[in-house]
Chain A
Amino acid sequence: MIDLDNTSFDRCIKCTVCTAYCPVARVTPLYPGPKYSGPDAERMRIKTPFLADSSLAYCNNCKRCETVCPSGVRITDFISLARSTRLKKHHRIRNFLLSHTDLAGFFTTRLAWPANFLLGLGPVKTVMGLFLNISAKIRFPAYASGRFSGELKAQTRIQKAFGEQVLYFYGCYVNYNFHDLGRDVVAVLNAMNIGVIAPAQKCCGVPLIAAGNLARARKNANANIQNLAAAVKETDQKIVFSSSSCILTVQQDYPELLDMDTSAIDGHIEFITRFLYKKFKAGNLPALKPLNLTAAYHSPCHLERTGGVMYTIEVLRRIPGLQLTLLHSECCGLAGTYGFKKEFDTIAEDIGQPLFRQIRATAPDVVITDCEACKWQIEAHTGLQVLHPISVLAMALAKS
């Protein structure tokens, strides 16, 4: 039976713009495109509930279709729901491993060095490719020793001493792989007399949604909403996110796709660059030194989807000495866990080529992007250093 809350396919006027901009449809003839998989097929699925095209698996959840749709159709919701409820589940173990990031992170951060070593070994990758269908071409991001959550919790007293505080949803990448970004966030905010507090949090759930495991995603969502709501209730603080995919998932997928009630936290969630933009405008701009750096900014698909790119650009523009080129918007191809899956790894590579060409032609010192997956993908294919906007800002902080 149809879910009456999402009848946005009804608004589709068949303009085909979504399919024109779908990066997956661009590179493989095996994917019919979002118009077909979403609003067209949904009218069929209402009639025949068990119906689900096997081609649905190809959607990489980049949401560019929704970004470009002039009718406001929530295309990927239909695709995700149909995938999770009706497609036969393949590669269960692989998908479990790739989507249960908290679980994986629990072990790997305790054994970071051996984990990183093994994951980088050729034969291990071959075995993973053969038995788990994990792409041998992809380099796993390195795991850090210990978790960022611990590091931040240890600073609670210091952070509480600042003039005001924000809550920080750091996400799995900062927590398990790249503490430096978390440190940069803290450094920048501290320089603005703002302390950073970490509420209890789980993985936002986006890899679970991509794997079609909506039940588990709802569990995580529930825990996150409860924890964040509790934290916000006492303090009425903002909750800042540094990962564009995390914030998209919490702000949009939680209420729209997973049907969760986010009213307790809705008004508090902000992407870090929006938070900073508002503070800068109000006069709270940290002392910055000129950077003398040429950079190319790549806007992540998920940040485009939330309309949040404006704030990142305006924050970057306030960094003196940063010569910024805005890259024409393209999908990098990795799409979170998508490119790690062997059956999609060539597609992921092919998708990213126009972006990589653009970057090479621009020849910047660094590439800037808000998404960790984009970072891995661009680093792997261009060899350039890729930084989060906050990290660039952190670099520009004048020493006091």
Chain B
Amino acid sequence: MKHIETDILVIGGGATGTAVARDCALRGIPCVLVERTDLAAGTTGRNHGLLHSGARYAVKDFESAVECITENRILKKIARHCIEETGGLFVSLPEDDPAYHEALVQACRRADIPCREIDASTALAMEPNLNPAVTRAVTVPDATIDPFRLASANALDASERGAQILTHTRVTGFLLDQDAVAGVRCLDRCTRETFKIRAKVVINASGVWGQELCRMAGIELIMFPSKGAMVILDYRINNVVLNRCRKPADGDILVPGDTVSLIGTTSRRIAYEAISDLRVTDDEVRTLLKEGERLVPNLSRTRVLRAFCGVRPLVAASPGETHGRNITRGIVLIDHQQRDQVKNFITIAGGKLMTSRLMAEKAVNLACRKLGENRPCRTAAIPLPGSEKPISPGVRALPFSESVAQSTYYRHGQRADDILEDSDGGTGLICECEMVTSREVAYALKHLHVKDIVDLRRRTRIGMGPCQGLFCAYRSAGAFIEHRHTDGTDATKMLIDFLEERWKGIRPVLWGDTLREAEFSYWICQGIFGLGKTVASSPGRGEGVCLADEFE
């Protein structure tokens, strides 16, 4: 059996795992990352994309708040192309308790979070789509962060500096050396190949999946999975982050994210077994839309693109914790040698998207101590690939049109220079909704650890616009054949898998123009392409289908 040797193995390709890989690579420590599905496929890719000012936590969780504001500043420097500095508002409506507004302002001041109290008309001037019933508001330095970009940039930096990134690779067991972890056994889900990875230190950054992972090493790590649902609107109905100024409840936050807006979130405890089969319920959709309308009344007239949910990887800080919202979201760093007498194994959990860099720093520091290394962490100082310089607003990349150029720079920062200059990639658009060029797709296929169309979507935004992949999925399948020489049958499977993945988010919001779009897509995919009659998609997908039909 093939095997790989390395110093640090990190399990989990979310924001934290990729940050760990990057941190190691920047310190010059050999590192391998394994990820069960794809980068940012877990909780990292299923949240609001909010770069908190920290104000939200200032009231109840002072430590978290301070962490937030510090990391907020760091990320704005090193990940500038992943971030949009929208600013934010905490908005009070007539039914909201004025005491919360007061408490918020005071807490922000204590935590050194810049904020300003403004009246209703100022708030409406800042955000004209805001509910005109707003009574007053507080400005905060909220921003938005694209978690896919962050994870992708982390991984790109890591691999350019020597780390190995292995996606679609599942850990099937640990290599144990008496009371020490020595590595893992893996399955490459694409090639079905099994192999071993031997490492001096293993870091578990697998988020909510940590419970089942640790069990394989004979360690008990209890997670409290808490489901959070989100609904995506077709376009940006707000330009600043809008927070409801009240005790945290469902549907509190409306976040502008690139070309769309997201209303979220909810909080429902779920059984651990359910974490890989998450559904958004009718109830959740109803609640989110209702609350969202309170912030921006026009939401009721806006097309809803899709609904999705993620699982908060809440770790029991201490036994007996049961309530989703109030379990500490603080960073949990576990040295399993101390806690469970298992050497060379670390878990980094809890925290949130925006503290992922800090979490990685803590984890790698601990790993380095175990390795007897003392190379310093450099991740706060060195910009991610693409974030070296701010992008000038009127950037143009002939012969591409202004909107296309702008979109590409927005997604890839400085790297868009290389992307758009590569004429091998052709000149057309693969995704017209989000203006993704064939050159960007070619670049992603070559450099960004893409194994299928769902991965491609995360790196480039294809399929994330109004048509939810109808045109770009087919064109992307073609791109795989062209650039990767993917077999036609595999490309067909990818296409089906991608469309089924999109469908999961469309089905809970199937009405209005979203239903029209789905009908249109179904007519093309089934009526014109007969996709459902090709080879079945991946096993366990549900409907096995027959081969092409018989005719006499």
Contacts and interface: CB of A to CB of B under 8 A. Distances in A.
| Direct interface between A and B, CB < 8 A | yes
Interface of A: 1-2, 4, 7, 9-15, 32, 35-36, 40-41, 43-48, 50-55, 71
Contacts of B470: 14
A52 B402 contact: yes
Given A4-B298, A44-B406, A51-B402, A11 B432 contact: no
Contact of B465 (A15, A43, A46): A43
Nearest to B298: A4
B235 A13 contact: no
B515 to A, nearest CB: 10
A40 B432 contact: yes
Contacts of B433: 14, 40, 43
B128 interface: yes
Contacts of A54: 401-402
Interface in B222-252: 234-237, 239
- Most interface-central of A2, A14, A48 (chain B CB within 10 A): A14
B502 interface: no
A10 B303 contact: yes
A11 B302 CA distance: 9
A246 B401 CA distance: 33
Contacts of B403: 40-41, 44-45, 51, 53
B254 to A, nearest CB: 15
A45 B401 CA distance: 13
A47 B401 contact: no
Contact of B401 (A9, A14, A32): A32
B466 A51 contact: no
Across the A-B interface, the 9 shortest Cβ-Cβ residue pairs:
A14-B467, A53-B401, A44-B403, A13-B517, A10-B303, A53-B402, A43-B259, A1-B128, A46-B236
B236 A14 contact: no
Contacts of A51: 402-403, 406
B303 A11 contact: yes
A13 B520 contact: yes
Interface in B393-420: 393-394, 401-403, 406-407
B302 A50 contact: no
17 contacts: A1-B129, A1-B239, A4-B129, A7-B298, A10-B235, A12-B466, A13-B467, A13-B517, A14-B432, A14-B433, A14-B466, A40-B432, A44-B259, A44-B403, A46-B259, A47-B258, A54-B402
A382 B193 CA distance: 72
Contacts of A2: 129, 235-237
A392 to B, nearest CB: 42
Chain B interface category by residue count: 20 to 34
B143 to A, nearest CB: 14
A313 to B, nearest CB: 31
Contacts of A4: 128-129, 298
B516 interface: yes
Nearest to A55: B401
Given A4-B128, A7-B301, A53-B403, 17 more contacts: A2-B235, A4-B129, A9-B235, A10-B234, A10-B513, A12-B466, A13-B520, A14-B466, A14-B471, A32-B401, A40-B435, A41-B403, A43-B465, A44-B403, A53-B401, A71-B513, A71-B516
Contacts of B516: 13, 71
B520 A44 contact: no
Contact of B236 (A11, A15, A41, A47): A47
A43 B471 CA distance: 18
A35 B466 CA distance: 13
Contacts of A53: 401-403
A47 B259 contact: yes
Contacts of A52: 402
Interface string B285-313: 00000000000001001110000000000
Contacts of A7: 235, 298, 301-302
Interface string B200-241: 000000000000000000000000000000000011110100
Nearest to B471: A14
Contacts of A71: 513, 516
A13 B301 CA distance: 16
B239 A44 contact: no
Contacts of B301: 7
Contacts of A32: 401
Contacts of A14: 432-433, 466-467, 470-471, 517, 520
A263 B544 CA distance: 59
B420 to A, nearest CB: 15
